[in-house]
């Protein structure tokens, strides 16, 4: 899914990209919705693939013990050149870490990179959560499962 | 088509031809002559071999509509059952599997453009693909009146592109290191069972590899098979 600017938008800095794909409710079918049950008459091989992107991560997390808390990546997209992309395929520094915790009196004295990496920036739209808080969909913050 | 209107279970008897004409494209030979029973909630659909389509070819559209209505009615009546997952399309897929033996069915993921999911139904349809004469804004379906304000007020816009890479610029232009891009890639061939298994069973303990395979430019996420559309 991708997007282009509406005609006659009048917004000078409107660039094509994926950022407003959630405008279409279909986006949420693509990302988050799980199919409740499938036909018992269709063999497992023939069952339609479930493509909810978010669900794929959860499914992968449960495929192997090493996957569950595996996490790493940067907070800034690095796709200016192919070399940068190869070096930081899922984001360049400052890095995000799964093991970091909320900034507190202790973390205040660590380098700022660590503080930034510990919290998912929300710009005040919701309470700050850490990467660890959202690693498991059954945690307090997300609190849901896939059927 | 013959329908027995007992309350429960309901017996719906269909000919193979009804299924042929019920909204799915099917390939393959003529239906064989087995009689599967398909359960939809408390209803039982019995498929009987038939050749009505040879006798009354002009009635094909009627069979089509009648069968659709039957399945939709059953779905509506038994909405509270656990048969929610039994989308009419699954029923049809199973029927097609039985009749054709294997995978002659064209699943929606390969024919997204004509999937029932995107039809004009105001209850169940997403409203199809936008009107190209009206900035591809959708005018039918359940969301036809929804207005979005970002980046400027407009109705939901949507279109379908089978070969999107032909229209999207190379993310790494003039970069000799970047692999070449094939603009003829068909978007509905990306999210295959092979890719799916590779993604989920591989990359053990390697989140970055997993995410790169799923989220990189022009890989699975951006080429998702069933949702190969441009939402604008």
**For B34-79, how does the pLDDT look when each residue is reduced to its tens digit (9 = 90+)?**
333 444 444 444 444 344 444 445 554 555 555 556 555 555 554 4
Asked if the structure places residue B186 within a domain, the reply is yes
Which positions in chain B touch A20 (Cβ < 8 Å)?
148, 150-151, 231-232
pLDDT at B52: 43
Residue B8 and residue B102 in one domain: yes
- pLDDT one digit per residue (tens) for chain A, 147 residues: 567 788 776 777 777 777 778 888 888 777 765 443 343 443 333 344 445 788 888 989 999 988 888 887 777 888 788 888 888 888 887 777 665 544 444 444 444 444 444 577 677 888 878 777 788 888 888 888 876
Confidence at residue A61, expressed as pLDDT on a 0 to 100 scale? 92
Q: Where are the alpha helices (DSSP H) in A9-126?
A: 26-31, 53-61, 82-87, 112-118
pLDDT of residue A146: 76
Say what the pLDDT of residue B12 is. Answer: 45
**Which residues are bridge partners to B40 per DSSP?**
B43
Check whether residue B11 and residue B53 sit in a common domain.
Answer: yes
Question: Are both B9 and B82 inside the same structural domain?
Answer: yes
B222 and chain A: CB distance < 8 Å anywhere? yes
Q: Is B104 at the interface with chain A, CB within 8 A? A: no
Residue A24 phi/psi, 5° resolution? -95, 125
List, as ranges, residues 17-36 from A with C-beta within 8 Å of B. 18, 20-21, 23-27, 29-30, 35-36
- For residues B183 and B170, membership in a common domain is answered with yes
If you compute the radius of gyration of chain A from its CA atoms, what whole number of angstroms results?
19
**Mean pLDDT, chain B, as a whole number?**
61
**Least reliable range by pLDDT among B23-37, B108-122, B182-196:** B23-37
List, in sequence order, the alpha helices (H) in A1-147: 26-31, 53-61, 82-87, 112-118
A86: number of Cβ within 10 Å: 12
* CA atoms B131, B135, B138, B139: torsion sign: negative
Over residues B132-153, the mean pLDDT reads 87
Do B184 and B101 share a structural domain? no
What number of CA atoms fall less than 13 Å from residue B139's CA on the CB side?
7
Same domain, B86 and B176: no
Between B137 and B98, whose confidence is greater? B137
- By residue range, what is the domain housing residue B49? 2-106
pLDDT single digits (tens) B156-180: 888 887 777 777 667 777 777 777 7
Whether residue B111 has pLDDT greater than 70: no
Put simply, the answer to whether A30 touches B148 (Cβ < 8 Å) is: no
Residue B98 lies in a domain: yes
- Are residues B221 and B130 part of one domain? no
Residue B113 lies in a domain: no
Which residues 55-114 in chain A show a CB within 8 A of chain B?
Answer: 56-57, 59-60, 63-64, 66-67, 70-73, 79, 81-83, 85-86, 89-90
Give the pLDDT confidence score for residue B50 in this predicted structure: 40
Give domain status of residue B193, yes or no. yes
Q: How big is chain B by its Cα radius of gyration, in Å?
A: 22
Tell me what pLDDT residue B122 has: 86
Q: B60 in a domain, yes or no?
A: yes
**B194-210 per-residue burial string, b: 16 or more CB within 10 A, e: under 16:** ebbeebbeebeeebbbb
State the Cα–Cα distance between residues A26 and A32, nearest whole angstrom.
10
Tell me whether residues A2 and B230 touch, CB distance under 8 A: yes
B195 vs B119, which has greater pLDDT? B119
**First CA to last CA across chain A, in angstroms?**
25
Q: Are residues B137 and B172 in the same domain?
A: no
Contact residues for B82 (Cβ-Cβ < 8 A; gap 6+) = A36, A37
- The count of domains in chain B is 3
Residue B111 resides in a domain: no
Assess whether B38 and B100 both reside in one domain. Answer: yes
Residues B9 and B99 in one domain: yes
Q: What's the confidence (pLDDT) of residue B188?
A: 66
Of the two residues B48 and B104, the one the predictor is more confident about is B48
Quick one: B95 and B81 in the same domain?
yes
Any domain includes B142:
yes
* Model-wide pTM > 0.80: no
Mean pLDDT within B192-202 = 77
Question: How many Å lie between the alpha carbon of A61 and the closest alpha carbon of chain B?
Answer: 9
Answer yes or no: is B217 within a domain: yes
- Residues B152, B172: one domain? no
Indicate the angle between helix axes A53-61 and B193-201, nearest 10 degrees. 40
> For testing the chain A interface, which of B41, B90, B201 should be mutated: the one with the most A CBs within 10 Å?
B90
């Amino acid at each position: 899914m991708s997007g282009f600017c509406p005609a006659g938008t009048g917004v000078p800095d409107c660039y094509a990209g994926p950022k407003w794909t959630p405008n279409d409710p279909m986006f949420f079918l693509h990302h988050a919705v799980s199919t409740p049950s499938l036909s018992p008459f269709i063999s497992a091989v023939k069952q339609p693939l479930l493509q909810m992107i978010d669900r794929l991560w959860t499914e992968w997390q449960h495929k192997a013990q090493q996957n569950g808390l595996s996490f790493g990546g940067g907070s800034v997209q690095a796709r200016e050149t192919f070399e940068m992309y190869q070096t930081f395929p899922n984001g360049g520094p400052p890095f995000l870490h799964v093991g970091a915790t909320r900034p507190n009196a202790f973390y205040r004295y660590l380098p700022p990179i660590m503080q930034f990496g510990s919290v998912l920036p929300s710009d005040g739209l919701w309470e700050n959560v850490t990467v660890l808080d959202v690693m498991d969909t059954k945690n307090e913050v997300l609190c849901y499962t896939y059927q | 088509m013959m329908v027995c209107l007992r309350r429960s279970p309901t017996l719906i008897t269909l000919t193979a031809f009804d299924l042929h004409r019920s909204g799915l494209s099917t390939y393959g030979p003529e239906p064989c002559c087995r009689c599967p029973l398909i359960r939809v909630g408390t209803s039982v659909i019995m498929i009987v071999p038939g050749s009505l389509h040879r006798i009354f070819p002009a009635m094909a559209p009627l069979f089509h509509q009648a069968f659709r209505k039957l399945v939709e009615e059953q779905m509506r009546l038994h909405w509270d059952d656990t048969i929610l997952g039994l989308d009419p399309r699954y029923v049809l897929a199973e029927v097609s599997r039985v009749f054709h033996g294997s995978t002659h069915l064209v699943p929606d993921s390969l024919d997204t453009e004509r999937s029932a999911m995107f039809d004009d139904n105001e209850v169940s349809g997403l409203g199809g693909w936008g009107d190209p004469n009206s900035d591809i804004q959708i005018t039918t379906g359940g969301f036809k009146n929804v207005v979005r304000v970002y980046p400027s007020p407009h109705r939901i816009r949507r279109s379908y592109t089978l070969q999107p890479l032909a229209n999207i610029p190379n993310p790494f232009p003039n970069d000799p290191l970047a692999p070449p891009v094939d603009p003829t890639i068909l978007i509905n061939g990306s999210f295959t069972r092979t890719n799916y298994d590779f993604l989920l069973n591989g990359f053990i303990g390697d989140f970055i590899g997993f995410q790169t395979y799923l989220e990189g430019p022009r890989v699975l996420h951006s080429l998702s098979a069933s949702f190969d559309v441009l939402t604008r």
